[in-house]
Amino acid sequence: MTPSFRPDAFQFRRRAAQSTPTINVVPLVDVLLVLLVILLVTAPALVHVVTTQLPRAVAAPAQRNEHRLILTIAASGVVFWGEEAVPLDALQARLSEALQNHQDTELLIQAHRDVAFERVAQVMAAAARAGLKRVGFAVQPS
């Protein structure tokens, strides 16, 4: 018996030699997306770890406004309007009343250095609810 000639077998080898290798990019994209998610989850946590000390600055004195309210926050957290102690829940009403008389009224907060920031934030929130647009802080010149 004579061996039979099979042209299909040779064509398969030629096709295999001509095919080009390809890279499957789907796993690569999956890994990159996972890394991106990890970065987005951990980045906010890294921000809260950083501790900073606020800089001291020398500022020019502010221009004097005729309608300036001065609130003083003592080290104990008591808020004073001039010489009078004002409860925090009555502060918004007092500020709204002062703002009705003069729309360009500005608020100057003199907070003791040992006052908790929470108390200053509460005073600022009361001022914002009352409608005051200009709020400033008094500092000790260095």
User: How far are the Cα atoms of 73, 88, 126 from residue 121, in angstroms, in the given order?
Assistant: 11, 11, 9
Do 77 and 106 contact (CB within 8 A), yes or no? Answer: no
**Residue 91 within any structural domain of the chain:** yes
**Structural domains of the chain, count:** 1
**Residue 49 within any structural domain of the chain:** no
E strands in 41-81: 68-73, 79-81
Q: For every one of its 142 residues, what pLDDT tens digit does the chain have, with 9 covering 90 and above?
A: 555 655 555 555 555 556 778 888 999 999 999 999 999 988 877 665 444 444 455 666 656 666 788 888 888 888 988 888 899 889 989 888 888 877 778 888 888 888 888 998 999 999 999 888 888 887 766 5
**Residue 125 within any structural domain of the chain:** yes
**Residue 83 within any structural domain of the chain:** yes
pLDDT at 47: 64
- Give the domain extent around 105: 68-137
Tokens of 15: 């096709």
Whichever domain contains 83, its CATH number is 3.30.420.270
**Residue 44 within any structural domain of the chain:** no
Helix, coil or strand: residue 74: coil
Q: Tell me which amino acid residue 56 is.
A: R
